[in-house]
Chain A
Amino acid sequence: MRVILKTRPRKKPHVPIEAEGIIPQNFLRKNDLTVYEGNRERNLEDLFFVTVEGPAVSPDQVEIILTGDTGRIKRVGEYMNAGRIIIEGDIGMHCGNFMSAGEIIIRGNADAWLGREMRGGRILCEGTAGDYCGAGYRGEKRGMRGGTIEVMGNAGDFVAEYLSGGEVIIHGNCGDLPGVEMRGGTLVIGGNCSRPCGNMTGGTCMVIGDPGELLPSFRRNGSTEVEFGGKKFRMAVFRGDVANRGKGTLLVKEEAIISRSGRDERL
């Protein structure tokens, strides 16, 4: 089954839409879902032109395609457990919250909290992602626990905060403090970042680009070779964050260390 949701023009296009109902399992039987525009309750049809093509017997067979002005739609794919969502443009915050299986493909950019507290499945963002990609909720001790988030572009600050399982791959650059408070899982940063893995206690983070400023609380522990994007890199291995009794692993390109050694007295 293919469900095509095309946004209708709105009078106040900046008012956010919360649409946690847009998940494959909800389209098996009915289409009269409730979505919220600001503080108003709306019917799905009020905000979208809905087209349904073909049948489906299980959520696995449902594919939702979101097109139009989708950058203000929040919570798409929340608690999704099967099927596929393809977003032709940008998507609002909290896309793929708590998702446990299935696939979300975002052709544009994703706003903050992409895949927050994700349990499984896969999110592919072809554009850039906002802050707190693959992170957790305020006060909660665990962020993303499983699945994969892959961002082809850049990502914002605090990527994979409290990551405790699964894999986050950012091909572009990250902002400040990626992998902060990380406790498990894997974070791969293809580009540059700054102060990776502050306060980490577990998991593995790999920075292929320039790690920027490194925190003093990581202990050098040999080196290793890794492969990323078909290329091999010689990586320096650090353990930390020692300020937090951490046992995480941070891999930084050996050249980056050498080129930095002039200004960083520790290395």
Chain B
Amino acid sequence: MTQGILIKNAYVIDPLSGIRGEIMDIAIRDGRIVEDALPGSEVIDAGGCLTLPGGIDSHSHVCGTKVNFGRYMSPEDMRAGRTSRKGVMHVTSGYSVPTTFGNSYRYSTMGYTTVLEGAMAPLEARHTHEEFTATPHQDMLANTLFDGNWSVMEAVREKDVKRAAAIVAWTLAAVKGFAIKLTNPGGTEAWGWGKDVSHIHDPVPYFEVTPAEIISTMIQANEILRLPHSVHLHCNNLGVPGNFRTTLETMDLAPPAGGDRQTLYLTHVQFHSYGGTTWRDISSKSEEIARSLNSKPQVVIDMGQIMFGRTTTMTADGPMEFKLYMLHHNKWSNHDVELETGSGIIPVYYSRKSLVNCVMWAIGLELALLAKNPWQCLLSTDNPNGAPFVKYPEIIALLMSRRMRENEREEIDPRTEHYVPLFALDRELDWYDIAVMTRAGQAKAMGITRIGKGHLSPGAQADVAIYPLKPDNLDPSVDYQQVMAGFSRTLYTIKRGRVVARDGDVVVEGANSTIWTRSRVPPEYDMGSDPEFTRKFDQYYTVRLRNYPVQDVYLPRGVCIETEAAL
């Protein structure tokens, strides 16, 4: 193996470095981008093709208990996408919830090198980490669920922000998590009794705290701990017609931060932007949401785009999945996690014939088109909830081509246009916007630019994707088919300085790392020796405190981001 790689004639867009499309060379050595290549480096001629930092998915469900249960309960889904062992590639199966290697290979061939698992229940963190090691071609991060955490809710009730922060710090370090995830805060605890919360001021049974209080406290705790990412929030009332009000109220909870840091990341906002009162009169409220977003630089969202076809929905939002089940009456799995959170899984089919689905489809696109700043609206499908991530290229094409949207308009329920503003939007995103929405924006929002993610400046991690697209002689608004094909399959995907995928095939065994965070707190805030915390742990969990933390052996290449908590 040569010491390095030199990529010549690359059409580089590197938003974080301010490069908006220049033909240049990129030198790689020892897994990092360097100024100059070593003599004898392997030379890759990009031939003017689009070259971007490795793709980053800031919200995807690919590993862990509920994802695996999605696979477990869906042999019919596994019938699609089966490949046999080929070279270094393991067998893969599945379409909407592929096997770990399936996810990894498909992400790799799309140029993705970093993926954040959207929801990890702390108690079952070990499982997520085990699957991370079986998703070998992406660096992984895990959002850790705190939405129904009893200790946190008690701290919120006592209005003790510092204690909440200390609990978060202890938990993230124990389970090797990356950031705070709140999924329907309070609602998952209410679901322990088969209930839900109906708005952000609706108190949680017994704990008598409101979602708004949980969100605000956790935002403060997050900033006290100086975690790289902000609070990552799945709002209350997902998928309920009229829920845009909840979303707007929630956005108002985000305090402004210093600089251009966000204090709140709202995920899959498409599912939270519905007007109307029932499924019959559901309408798009993307304009209201975008207006609020455009006035709040402290908020970042991702789209949560849905795409037509079959998929599997899975979320920690247990009550929502049950409501969905009652609608579809197909199959339903639920998994409550003691003292922490819940989850639910059901398969769905988004149909072009369904007005509701068409409205949902339009809303996601509208959010991306109406958000003035691409750094504030990232591309996602909340894989696999809106659609499997393999649909990203199609979404990119839709965003870049008005013509493609018009063509799609012919295919969908004709009433859609009365409920959505999509077809009035002329905006077509450019290559730069896409680069922001698929990697640079993610890296910035997740706060991992410092460890060399999402950009190509010297010192950065050598995660590079070269797509068979030549922006100089391609008009994406016309040649959207080519855009789609190009983003589906890189010429080269380079991960930490190694070519991992070439022309759609993975060519090496992977060796990913897992990125986690640890906030140093003063000893009096160490929950591991807090009598009240440990007493409750001993009495109410079913595992021993000593058997709870994820051992280092589960992170063979762990990367820890340490912060100093302001406690």
Contacts and interface: CB of A to CB of B under 8 A. Distances in A.
Interface of A: 137-141
Given A139-B73, A139-B76, A140-B75, 10 more contacts: A137-B75, A137-B76, A137-B79, A138-B75, A138-B76, A139-B75, A139-B77, A140-B76, A141-B76, A141-B330
B481 interface: no
B74 interface: yes
Say whether chain B's binding surface is mostly helix, strand, loop, or mixed: loop
14 contacts: A137-B75, A137-B76, A137-B79, A138-B75, A138-B76, A139-B73, A139-B74, A139-B75, A139-B76, A139-B77, A140-B75, A140-B76, A141-B76, A141-B330
A137 B75 CA distance: 8
Contacts of B77: 139
A139 B93 CA distance: 15
A141 B74 CA distance: 11
Closest 9 CB pairs of A and B: A139-B76, A139-B75, A140-B76, A138-B75, A139-B74, A137-B76, A141-B330, A139-B73, A137-B75
| Size band of the interface chain B makes with A | under 10
A140 B76 CA distance: 5
A18 to B, nearest CB: 14
Interface string B316-330: 000000000000001
B82 to A, nearest CB: 13
Contacts of B74: 139
B454 to A, nearest CB: 39
Contacts of B75: 137-140
Contacts of B330: 141
Interface string B365-402: 00000000000000000000000000000000000000
A243 to B, nearest CB: 13
Interface of B: 73-77, 79, 330
Nearest to A141: B330
B200 to A, nearest CB: 35
Nearest to A245: B329
A221 B439 CA distance: 63
Contacts of A138: 75-76
Contacts of B73: 139
A34 to B, nearest CB: 14
A140 B79 CA distance: 10
A11 B79 CA distance: 32
A136 to B, nearest CB: 9
Most buried by B among A137, A138, A139, A141: A139
A140 B349 CA distance: 13
Nearest to B74: A139
Nearest to A140: B76
A181 to B, nearest CB: 12
A30 B75 CA distance: 34
Nearest to A142: B76
A137 B76 CA distance: 7
Contacts of A139: 73-77
A139 B96 CA distance: 14
Contacts of A140: 75-76
Nearest to A201: B329
Contacts of B76: 137-141
B518 to A, nearest CB: 41
Interface centre among B73, B74, B76 (most CB of A within 10 A): B76
A138 B74 CA distance: 8
A138 B71 CA distance: 13
A152 B440 CA distance: 67
Contacts of A141: 76, 330
A141 B349 CA distance: 13
Nearest to A136: B76
A157 to B, nearest CB: 19
B78 to A, nearest CB: 8
A42 to B, nearest CB: 17
A258 B74 CA distance: 44
B460 to A, nearest CB: 44
Nearest to B72: A139
Nearest to B78: A139
A203 B36 CA distance: 72
A140 B331 CA distance: 10
Nearest to B77: A139
A227 B73 CA distance: 42
B73, B79, B330 pick with most chain A CB within 10 angstroms: B79
B99 to A, nearest CB: 15
A138 B72 CA distance: 11
